[in-house]
């Protein structure tokens, strides 16, 4: 099993998502690097912007922690799928 697969599965199950979607986002956004910082200030595995994290109650410095980063990513994806159900799996 790969390093973050348990976390992908945890958050996917909690949010009703496919864990492979979370993994694909992290692979695309950061090559699964929890310490990645993008040019626009996005942070961690799923390249979360600090303002988005703050909206979900997560501090900027916590975005480097994979569990918190995936919490924000999975919650945001779930919210988007709820808002746009035609886009959901």
Q: Active site residue: 2, 13, 29, 71, which one?
A: 29
Active site annotation includes 29: yes
Please count the CA atoms within 13 angstroms of the CA of 38 that sit on its side-chain side: 17
- 10 Å CB burial of residue 43 (0-12, 13-18, 19+) is buried
**Bridge partners (DSSP) listed for residue 43:** 37, 48
Report residue 72: phi and psi, to 5°.
Answer: -65, -50
Return the active site residues.
29
């Amino acid at each position: 099993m790969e390093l973050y697969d348990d976390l992908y599965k945890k958050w996917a199950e909690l949010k009703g998502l496919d864990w492979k979607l979370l993994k694909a986002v992290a692979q695309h956004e950061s090559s699964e690097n929890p310490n990645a910082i993008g040019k626009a200030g996005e942070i961690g595995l799923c390249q979360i912007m600090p303002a988005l994290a703050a909206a979900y109650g997560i501090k900027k410095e916590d975005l480097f922690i994979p569990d918190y980063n995936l919490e924000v990513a999975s919650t945001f994806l779930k919210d988007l799928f709820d808002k746009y159900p035609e886009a959901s799996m």
